[in-house]
Amino acid sequence: MACRWIIGAGAALERAHESWCRSFPDSKIEKIPLVQNAQYEFDLEPLNAISPGEGSAFVAFDERFGNFKRVELMQAAMERGFKLASFVSPRAMVAGGVRIGPNAFVGDGAIVGHGCRIDYNCFLLPGVCLGSDVHLRASCWLESAVVVGDGAQIGAHSILRSGALVAAGVQVGRGCELGWPRRYDKDIVAKTVYDPRYDAPIHVYG
Amino acid sequence: MRSRMHPSYYLSADIFEREQQKLFRKLWLFAGLKTLLPENNCFITRKIAGIPVVIQNFQGELHAFENVCLHRSAPLQSEPVGRRPLVCQYHAWKYDAAGQVSNIPHCDALYQFSEPQKKSLKLREFALRAVGNLLFVNLSDDPLPLEEQFSAQFLASLESSSSAYDSEVMVTTWQCRFNWKLVQENLRDNNHVAFLHPRTLAPFVSFLPVVDPACAAETQEPLTDISTAGLRQEIRYFSYGGPEGTPSEYQSLGWHANVERWRPNTESADAQVVDGRVHNQPVVGECQQDAYFNWLAFPNLHIASGNGGNSFVIEHYIPVAPDRTDVDIYRFTARKKRPNPASTQILLSEMHHSRLILGEDFGMLEKVQSILHSQAPVPTQGIYETTNRLIERWYTTLLETEHGL
């Protein structure tokens, strides 16, 4: 039987592993935990002990460093010949005409409207709600209780925290973090960060 | 020793207004980064001492104007940073590099201004100076020379270090509930680090306060020369910078290899000594290159590099009310050697680190401000607080006499 390796670290790894096991109880699923050193570099040695041709992999790591650490792991897996699968929970409600890229995660109770496009490496935690024709570009991270309105576009590497509501048609630029629990009803320039610890948005110029 | 700072200096609206007039509208004030204005039509807007200011790039030449259209008082530029010609968005009056109105749509039909009237339509321009990548504006009609406000060593140190700044800049504003002077006093009191930052800063860097009995004795005496020249002479002592903190261990991070790290020269190291007065014990020897660098530009600018010139933070403290200060924080690395798609995340990590440490400072200062009242006890100072004592001697003289800058 082909194996499914769930590769990563931390709570994201535990969540993904549990979701795969619960959703596909008859599959052979193996958890591959990785360790980071003081410089946050992964020890990739456990990957070298696996024959990638005997199954497929799923990379599970959280949004740290703007989702770049998860991308880094994905690239390491692909360089070693792993084929990457995506996970869509049987308990999610996914409408027709939806396109989902590799290594995407659509958790329990997520609602994905008609015509949505979820690019590779996007993570939708349980309960995320996407309207119709939403486009999530690569490597986004959407927490529970995020709502994205019809036709909205979310730039690559963006992070939407619990309680963020992106209004219909709004374009969120690349690398944004919407951490204030509120309605975002205007387009947001790339790399804008709304962090609850700050009084004002954080902007990046140049 | 008793401080000269009566609580009303931190509470009174009248004193706040006097400060704005006698200090902030007379001195050179930080206004922004040249790296944010790289091309024609790039602009930044700020409110400086209550006055809206736009700094605009005209074919490579930078000019600072009052950011108010002469027609209906609309802001000429409304974003903090951007790129568009200096044209009012309300009725499209256009201004040139001299601040002169250069085009008014339908002028002859709708306004019927005479030629002399048109020529008189000129924006108020402010003195602007660039020191490396740092822009300073002076709102006075007769600005004092920048070289009188800051010593030559200090200007050289600012120019050298700021020329290393990268063009990618992260900016935000924190709204704080304390008087701006409390934070300036805190920045010149490095004895607090071990007590207020026991886990976040003190384990990694040590600061040694200066104890100078002769200078401390001088602070007991009134300022002798209170003429304009004397007040200007004294102000130079209040701005200094250089390698101030000794790191317990230099920690090299992966991204450091991708930036042109700034290295101090001799002038940079000397900038903590102004005309013989020593403000901090500078770090000397081999670890100087890896030191925690601080630059304090009086009245309201602090620049630091906590990792020996790999990255920098600018804290600009803007008085809003007696008990309110906006803090603009700029974060950037030294110039990148090559583009890095994750560079924003490096800046964000650094910004959060600033938030952590400054949050400890600001939390304490907000507590201090919250219990201040007009009858509160005047602070008692130690001999190590000489720099703050020199500043308050100068400040109280300026505010309590008719003499000015």
Residue B398, pLDDT above cutoff 60: yes
Helices B386-400, B228-235: axis angle to 10 degrees equals: 150
Per-residue pLDDT of chain A (206 residues; tens, 9 = 90+): 789 999 999 999 999 999 999 999 999 999 999 999 988 999 999 999 999 999 999 999 999 999 999 999 999 999 999 999 999 999 999 999 999 999 999 999 999 999 999 999 999 999 999 999 999 999 999 999 999 999 999 999 999 999 999 999 999 999 999 999 999 999 999 999 999 999 999 999 99
Q: Residues B238-262: what's their mean pLDDT?
A: 90
d(CA A94, CA A57): 22
Strands A183-184 vs A165-166: parallel, antiparallel or unpaired: parallel
pLDDT of residue B323 exceeding 60, the answer is: yes
The CATH topology of domain B8-26+149-400 is Naphthalene 1,2-dioxygenase Alpha Subunit; Chain A, domain 1 (3.90.380)
Residue A175 contacts B where some CB pair is shorter than 8 Å = yes
Token digits of residue A151: 């036709």
In this prediction the pTM is 0.95
Beta bridge partners of B243: B293
Q: Contact B347/A203, CB-based, under 8 Å? A: no
Give the 3-state secondary structure of residue B188. coil
pLDDT at A161: 98
- Summarize pLDDT for B116-160 with one digit per residue, the tens: 999 999 999 999 999 999 999 999 999 999 999 999 999 999 999
The pLDDT value given to residue B266: 65
Question: How far is A191 from B198, CA to CA, in rounded Å?
Answer: 33
The share of chain B scoring above pLDDT 70, in percent, equals 96
**What per-residue string of b and e applies to A96-126 under the rule 16 or more CB within 10 Å gives b?**
eebebbbbbbbbbbbbbbebbbbbbbbbbbb
Mean pLDDT score of chain B: 94
If pLDDT is split at 50, 70 and 90, which confidence band does B54 have?
Answer: very high
A203 touches chain B (CB under 8 A): yes
Q: Which fold does the domain B42-130 belong to in CATH?
A: Rieske Iron-sulfur Protein (2.102.10)
- Residues B100, B97: Cα–Cα separation, whole Å: 7
In tens, the pLDDT along B71-117 reads 999 999 999 999 999 999 999 999 999 999 999 999 999 999 999 99
Mean pLDDT to the nearest integer, B263-270: 67
Residues in B closer than 8 angstroms to A193, CB to CB, are 348
Span A127-169, pLDDT tens digits: 999 999 999 999 999 999 999 999 999 999 999 999 999 999 9
Query: If you write DSSP's letter for every residue of A127-196 in order, what string do you get?
Result: T-EE-TT-EE-TT-EE-TT-EE-TT-EE-TT-EE-TT-EEPTT-EE-TT-EE-SSSEE-S-B-TT-EE-T
Kindly determine whether residue A205 and residue B171, on different chains, have CB atoms separated by under 8 Å.
yes
From chain A, the residues in CB contact with B38 under 8 A are 206
Residues B100 and B63 sit within 8 Å (Cβ to Cβ): no
Report residue B285's pLDDT band, with 50, 70 and 90 as the boundaries.
Answer: confident
Across the interface, whether the CB atoms of A203 and B81 are under 8 A apart is answered yes
The Cα B75–Cα B62 span in angstroms is 18
**What's the CA gap between A193 and A187, in Å, rounded?**
13
CA–CA min distance B32, chain A (Å): 12
Question: For residue B289, what pLDDT band results from cuts at 50, 70 and 90?
Answer: confident
Question: Is the per-residue pLDDT at B267 higher than 90?
Answer: no
The residues of B whose Cβ lies within 8 A of any Cβ of A are 35-36, 38, 80-81, 166-175, 253-254, 341-342, 344-345, 347-349, 351-352, 355
Mutate to test the interface with B, among A62, A186, A195, A202 (most CBs of B within 10 A): A202
- Give the domains, in start order, of chain A with CATH numbers: 3-79 (no CATH), 91-206 (2.160.10.10)
Task: Please answer yes or no on whether A202 and B253 come within 8 Å at the CB atom.
Answer: no
Q: Once rounded to an integer, what is the mean pLDDT over residues B208-233? A: 91
Q: Nearest residue of B to residue A200 by CA position?
A: B173
- pLDDT of B344-384, one tens digit each? 999 999 999 999 999 999 999 999 999 999 999 999 999 99
**Every domain range in chain B assigned CATH 3.90.380.10:** 8-26+149-400
CA atoms of B26 and B21, how far apart (whole Å): 7
B80 → chain A, closest CA residue: A203
Beta strand pairing status for A105-106 and A87-88? parallel
Task: Please name the helix (run of DSSP H) or strand (run of DSSP E) that holds residue B95, with its range, or none.
Answer: strand B94-95
- Give the model's confidence band at B269: pLDDT under 50 very low, under 70 low, under 90 confident, else very high: low
Q: Can you tell me the distance from the alpha carbon of A163 to that of A200, in angstroms, rounded to the nearest whole number? A: 18
Q: Where in chain B is the domain with CATH 2.102.10.10?
A: 42-130
